[in-house]
């Protein structure tokens, strides 16, 4: 059985939601769950739930990293935090993966500190799956690295291409570099220099893509720095939400529309499910030597459940090992060593 260590203390909505999601995952996906955190809090939350016969354990941790705590501080001062204990379980081989909706900076820093980096990767990055008009697209980096160099972006692209191939079953993934014009000469200094690296690589590089192209689904991997990527991610969430609100408002404004809404409700529900980020369940941290899935701080039960399912699949399919192997086999890693950037 695959065991997943779940940080039961992180997230904006409190331990109950995380623990409910974890129990749900154990029941639905046959995955072993290790709930990591304050023992009493976890036991209290479990008391209200039916988890009889399910593979659920508790790993106590006496400290909690706050959502706005500086990652370096958390790492130095909270050596018995739920995040830290969760990664130690992976290190000791007692768990195959970590899922956390807590402080993402601290999760990243702890993953790096405890598990270390893959060979050839200087900066692990967060990969997010975006729904598009066609197949889903992987955007990397969704927020782990705010100030990047061209070789970092290039490594992100290498990793996400392997991810798309292994996890999304996408053959020969098309990689696009997020910029503000399609020609290679368009963009900021970072993107212009990165373009050259991708151009020389063996990746299926389709060149620059613009913001509007992401949702068309014409590329499988979108590469950008974590500052831009995080803004794209959150802007998309905010806009999708705003559009649905505006549309509901318009519909409620007239009687015939209200009637229409009732009839069209099923379509609305299907649609919401399609753009529901929760369905995708967390974003993997690529480049650390192990499986770590980072969830939105405001993740609901379902998002947690799906993230745990993803973590289990990652571990089952040995995604980190395949990623490392692909990176080492790739001639592209040497490319960056011979280039300035």
- Interacting residue ranges for a second copy, rule: CB under 8 A: 68, 70, 132-133, 143, 146-147, 178-180, 183, 185, 187-189, 191, 210-216, 224-228, 230-243, 245-247, 250-251, 253-254, 256-257, 259-268, 270-271, 274-275
Nearer to a second copy, 169 or 253 (CB): 253
DSSP bridge pairs for 138:
129, 221
Contact criterion met (CB below 8 Å) for 160 and 221: yes
Judge if the upstream peptide bond of residue 28 is cis by omega within 30 degrees of 0.
Answer: no
**Tokens in use for 147?**
């100030």
- Shortest separation between residue 254's beta carbon and a second copy, angstroms: 6
Nearer to a second copy, 55 or 207 (CB): 207
Measured between alpha carbons, how far is 54 from 23 in angstroms, rounded to an integer?
8
Measured between alpha carbons, how far is 298 from 268 in angstroms, rounded to an integer?
23
Start-to-end C-alpha separation, the chain: 44
Q: Which of 17, 6, 1 is nearest to 90 (CA)?
A: 6
Cα four-point dihedral sign 39, 40, 42, 48 = positive
- Shortest separation between residue 23's beta carbon and a second copy, angstroms: 29
- Shortest separation between residue 154's beta carbon and a second copy, angstroms: 18
Nearer to a second copy, 256 or 329 (CB): 256
- Shortest separation between residue 136's beta carbon and a second copy, angstroms: 13
- Shortest separation between residue 181's beta carbon and a second copy, angstroms: 8
| Helical pair 150-166 and 319-329, crossing angle rounded to 10 deg | 130
Nearer to a second copy, 128 or 165 (CB): 128
Nearer to a second copy, 147 or 171 (CB): 147
Residues near 254 by beta carbon (within 8 Å), at least 6 away in sequence: none
Q: Which of 179, 241, 187, 174 is nearest to 212 (CA)?
A: 179
- Shortest separation between residue 260's beta carbon and a second copy, angstroms: 3
Nearer to a second copy, 97 or 224 (CB): 224
Half-sphere exposure of 31 (CA within 13 A, CB side): 32
Nearer to a second copy, 27 or 186 (CB): 186
Measured between alpha carbons, how far is 155 from 188 in angstroms, rounded to an integer?
18
Measured between alpha carbons, how far is 149 from 242 in angstroms, rounded to an integer?
34
- Shortest separation between residue 170's beta carbon and a second copy, angstroms: 19
- Shortest separation between residue 88's beta carbon and a second copy, angstroms: 27
- Shortest separation between residue 191's beta carbon and a second copy, angstroms: 8
Nearer to a second copy, 33 or 160 (CB): 160
Measured between alpha carbons, how far is 125 from 106 in angstroms, rounded to an integer?
14
Nearer to a second copy, 259 or 328 (CB): 259
Q: Which of 151, 253, 241 is nearest to 196 (CA)?
A: 151
Measured between alpha carbons, how far is 305 from 292 in angstroms, rounded to an integer?
15
């Amino acid at each position: 059985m695959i065991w997943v260590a779940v940080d039961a203390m992180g997230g904006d909505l409190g331990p109950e939601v995380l623990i409910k999601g974890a129990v749900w995952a154990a029941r639905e996906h046959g995955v072993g769950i290790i709930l990591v955190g304050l023992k009493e809090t976890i036991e209290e939350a479990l008391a209200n739930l039916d988890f009889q016969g399910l593979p659920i354990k508790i790993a106590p941790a006496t400290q909690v990293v706050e959502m706005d705590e500086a990652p370096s501080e958390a790492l130095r001062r909270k050596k018995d935090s739920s995040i830290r204990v969760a990664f130690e379980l992976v290190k000791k081989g007692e768990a195959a993966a970590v899922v956390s909706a807590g402080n993402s900076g601290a999760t990243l820093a702890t993953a790096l500190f405890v598990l270390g980096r893959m060979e050839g990767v200087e900066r692990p990055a967060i990969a997010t799956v975006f729904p598009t008009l066609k197949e889903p697209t992987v955007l990397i980096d969704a927020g782990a690295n705010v100030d990047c160099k061209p070789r970092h972006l290039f490594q992100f692209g290498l990793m996400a291409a392997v991810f798309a191939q292994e996890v999304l079953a996408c053959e020969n993934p098309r990689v696009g570099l997020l910029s503000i014009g399609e020609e290679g000469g368009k963009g900021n200094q970072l993107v212009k220099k990165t373009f050259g690296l991708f151009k020389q690589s063996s990746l299926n590089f389709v060149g620059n893509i613009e913001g509007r192209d992401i949702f068309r689904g014409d590329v499988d991997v979108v590469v950008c720095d974590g500052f831009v990527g995080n803004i794209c991610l959150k802007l998309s969430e905010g806009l999708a939400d705003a559009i649905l609100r505006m549309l509901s408002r318009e519909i409620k404004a007239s009687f015939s529309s209200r009637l229409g809404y009732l009839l069209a409700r099923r379509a609305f529900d299907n649609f919401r499910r399609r753009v529901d980020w929760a369905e995708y369940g967390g974003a993997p941290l690529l480049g650390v030597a192990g499986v770590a899935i980072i969830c939105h701080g405001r993740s609901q039960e379902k998002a947690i459940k799906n993230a745990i399912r993803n973590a289990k699949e990652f571990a089952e399919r040995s995604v980190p090992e395949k990623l490392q192997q692909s990176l080492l086999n790739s001639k592209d890693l040497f490319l960056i060593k011979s280039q300035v950037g």
